[in-house]
Structure 1
């Protein structure tokens, strides 16, 4: 039995801290119940962060979530120790002592990230960075591991709550995201057009998109050009369609064709594109209908990536309706509410080869 697991009625019970976008924790919890049956929940940050007790081993939970990743559960990590928070140096000492005893989980040479966060507006006598410094010393001196900030093999996760400190060690792949709490951050670079670009950058990472597999893309609802700009940076030829105006910085780009009109007014050849992207602020059913109508412009086996604005209180119903509208023209490969999505989610789709 792994550290942090207990036995209830002969079955292992593991504990996890789950994260979702603000206001969507209950949907992430519903996803866990659908997969594991009875799950106990304790709220840590209303609508966003929770502690889950699952009647499965850590290994089983991680394996099942990796194989069928939830839509609204953005990040999860195991809780293998919990103790009352002193909010002072004693907490750091207890965390060091716990990590020193977690020997089998960490091996020499492992790349290990320490990810610490605390409940907003909760005062501690130390910072999350102080937690990292204290635990990095244990990683190097006790385990001969390599502390890293990005691309870890394993993660030491620490959450400083209102009255307790929670911690666990896991493979980075078991957390659904190797970013702290799944909160992936990007810098605003020179020439930044809109925050919409962050959504496509995150999708690139989370979906493992290989832009070299595409040469021609069409961007529906492109204005002001956040997604178009990234696709051009990645070397694609882009057809941008929107009655609104693109950012002047894109004017004259040699790989850009711009139609300042509605998508339905633009004639597109069949199988002309490898990739279709859409980030329109429409009702999800309207967005799905438009994308389904234009789907023949994608080559068989090609890809579509679109965001859906969610109707509050009915996200799963919206997803079912959209899936029905898109089929059989497009098949959903993955649906995920990304950190930068807010009240929406991102769909990765493919056009079936026999269509």
Structure 2
């Protein structure tokens, strides 16, 4: 074959696992096309096993924001583990053979149905990990939080469709856990709102890019009512200046570290000399108006200060409208000295994305 003929050969397709949240199921096929998928098989709750010749699009295209998590498929084993004798031992020995010499920093196994009430596969994932850890040499990262976001981890997902494994850094995969970011259960009777789970998951996701916020860090929260996020931040020993036209839940009355201003965000003005470490905005309403208030108040952030912004999209019938709105919000932030460094779709997000900026 001549050199010209070699160069004209089509790029090889690669197997990949992508997680597209169920809320985006109506546009999943469009997302997969933008990712260059030449074939796809639905797995579990919202996973798709695809073959693509352009894996860079999974993280570098406008469709990437609709992908919560991704993993190259270095090993796939379609099977029914529940009916297979000796599955754990067979799978563990295979993982050692295929990945042992690649020296992953850690090994984490999840399920293809992470919110299913059926505990079988959760138990299987735990037992399989326990057996593999007996076979592997000592790994540097025993817990998800101990991972270096830029070093490769062996991630596996198991379900009724089989076992699916690959190695990639948590940052490239877009999550520290196998399957994404940390799922936060918000069924406790004293929960103020599901928004608390959103900020808890967002802060865990942030470990991919920044150290955890120090105790006593000062947040300004825009549109805080009823106080789900406020409560979560206070529980983490953060200080919060919360602003809203509506009152907070009375359970927050008198909480140490909280200052609440019952007024419109648009008229709130911090005292001269005030500085904040982070700004949180989960306000409803047009995102163009919300980001304007973020920009106005971001000048009170210290250098390198954090902004966590929920981009609420009126509807998602296609990729075009949310992408156009996303570009607008990012452009407005950039023009005011806010650099977007990460984005994701959290478990409790609906037609919305969580954006992370920092002051420059």
Question: Normalised by the size of structure 2, how large is the TM-score?
Answer: 0.75
Give the match for residue 3 of structure 1.
none
Once the two structures are superposed, residues 150-181 of structure 1 have per-residue CA deviations (whole angstroms, 9 ceiling, x without a partner) of: 447633413435xx424213245253213232
Most deviating of 219-228 and 88-97:
88-97
Distance in 1, Cα, partners of 2:21 & 2:272? 38
Alignment check: 8 A CA contact 2:109 2:129 kept: yes
Verify: 1:288 aligned to 2:291, yes or no. yes
Q: Which runs of 5+ in 2 are unaligned?
A: 1-7, 148-152
Which residues in structure 2 correspond to 1:23-34 (within 5 Å)? 23-24=23-24
Most deviating of 90-99 and 253-262:
90-99
Relative distance call for 1:175 and 1:220 in structure 2 (3 A) is: same
Distance in 2, Cα, partners of 1:83 & 1:47? 16
Once the two structures are superposed, residues 63-103 of structure 1 have per-residue CA deviations (whole angstroms, 9 ceiling, x without a partner) of: x949x994332112232223354751158265345324314
The equivalent position to 1:217 in structure 2, one of 213, 216, 219, is: 219
Once the two structures are superposed, residues 164-223 of structure 1 have per-residue CA deviations (whole angstroms, 9 ceiling, x without a partner) of: 424213245253213232152235568532221111111111123532297432211111
Distance in 1, Cα, partners of 2:98 & 2:174? 22
Q: Which runs of 5+ in 1 are unaligned?
A: 1-7
Give the match for residue 48 of structure 1.
46
- The alignment partner of 2:231 has SS state of helix
- The alignment partner of 2:283 has SS state of coil
Q: How many Å apart are 1:140 and its aligned residue?
A: 1.4
Once the two structures are superposed, residues 95-116 of structure 1 have per-residue CA deviations (whole angstroms, 9 ceiling, x without a partner) of: 3453243144565x96422323
Distance in 2, Cα, partners of 1:297 & 1:28? 40
Distance in 1, Cα, partners of 2:115 & 2:201? 24
Once the two structures are superposed, residues 221-255 of structure 1 have per-residue CA deviations (whole angstroms, 9 ceiling, x without a partner) of: 11111222233334443221111111222212343
Alignment check: 8 A CA contact 1:24 1:47 kept: no
Distance in 1, Cα, partners of 2:115 & 2:297? 44
Relative distance call for 1:158 and 1:241 in structure 2 (3 A) is: closer
Relative distance call for 1:120 and 1:211 in structure 2 (3 A) is: closer
Give the match for residue 206 of structure 1.
205
Number of matched pairs: 334
Verify: 1:306 aligned to 2:314, yes or no. no
CA RMSD of aligned residues (A): 4.0
Relative distance call for 1:149 and 1:26 in structure 2 (3 A) is: farther
- The alignment partner of 1:222 has SS state of coil
Distance in 2, Cα, partners of 1:251 & 1:120? 34
Verify: 1:167 aligned to 2:174, yes or no. no
Distance in 1, Cα, partners of 2:154 & 2:99? 14
Question: Normalised by the size of structure 1, how large is the TM-score?
Answer: 0.76
Distance in 1, Cα, partners of 2:206 & 2:357? 11
Alignment check: 8 A CA contact 2:182 2:204 kept: no
The equivalent position to 2:246 in structure 1, one of 233, 237, 244, is: 244
Give the match for residue 348 of structure 1.
356
Relative distance call for 1:169 and 1:132 in structure 2 (3 A) is: farther
Once the two structures are superposed, residues 243-274 of structure 1 have per-residue CA deviations (whole angstroms, 9 ceiling, x without a partner) of: 11112222123432211121123233466232
